[in-house]
């Protein structure tokens, strides 16, 4: 009897875990637009989906930057990917954070604080499309502690 209860609870726990993981993957599906929409709109002067030798793809390749674009709540993923692209190309890392709601501004702050705290050389751009505000200018919000005073306007 213990075995049957144990086996049932293990199966139930596994099912609930799988269900919650698959559901949590769909939570972010309620976006106003797909990431590709923002990349194509923002990266008109660059190369979109630029293929690297290791099989990865840069969202936007600009003359100075390799840019990883992502929704603002996935800022931490963007940081890691941009650093990888910079390593592969020898170019400067950059992230484009997409904001669709005002409450998502906090993610830009988190990214900037993390980049500054760890003294990372990552340029941060923002594409803000909240309905009230539409901002997509290519102006760096912050470019590491070493270059804090430097504003790069492409």
Per-residue pLDDT tens over the stretch 14-29: 343 343 333 444 444 4
The answer to whether the Cα torsion of 35, 38, 42, 45 is positive or negative is positive
Report yes or no on 153 lying in a domain: no
**Are 26 and 101 contained in the same domain?**
no
Structural domain total, the chain: 2
Q: Determine the pLDDT at residue 123.
A: 92
Q: Are strands 65-71 and 57-61 parallel, antiparallel or unpaired?
A: antiparallel
Residue 49 and residue 114 in one domain: yes
pTM of the model: 0.72
Residue 104 domain-assigned (yes or no): yes
Q: What's residue 134's pLDDT?
A: 61
Which pairs with CB-CB distance under 8 Å and at least 24 residues apart come from 145-151? Answer: 145/116, 145/119, 146/119, 146/121, 147/121, 148/116
d(Cα 144, Cα 120) in Å, to the nearest integer? 6
Return d(Cα 42, Cα 64) in angstroms, integer.
15
- Report the pLDDT value the prediction gives residue 138, as an integer from 0 to 100: 62
Is the domain of 18 the same as that of 91? no
pLDDT tens per residue, range 61-98 = 999 999 999 999 999 999 999 999 999 999 999 999 99
Give me the pLDDT at residue 104, please. Answer: 92
């Amino acid at each position: 009897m213990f075995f049957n209860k144990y086996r049932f609870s293990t199966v139930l726990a596994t099912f609930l875990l799988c269900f919650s993981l698959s559901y949590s993957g769909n939570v972010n599906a309620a976006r106003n637009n797909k990431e590709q929409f923002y990349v194509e709109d923002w990266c008109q002067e660059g190369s979109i989906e630029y293929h690297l030798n290791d099989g990865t793809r840069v969202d936007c390749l600009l003359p100075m930057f390799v840019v990883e674009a992502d929704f603002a709540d996935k800022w931490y993923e963007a940081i890691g990917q941009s650093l990888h692209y910079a390593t592969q190309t020898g170019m400067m890392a950059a992230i484009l954070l997409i904001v669709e709601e005002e409450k998502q501004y906090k993610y830009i702050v988190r990214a900037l604080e993390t980049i500054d705290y760890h003294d990372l050389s990552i340029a941060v751009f923002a594409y803000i499309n909240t309905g009230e505000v539409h901002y997509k200018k290519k102006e760096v919000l912050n470019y590491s502690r070493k270059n804090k005073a430097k504003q790069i306007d492409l």
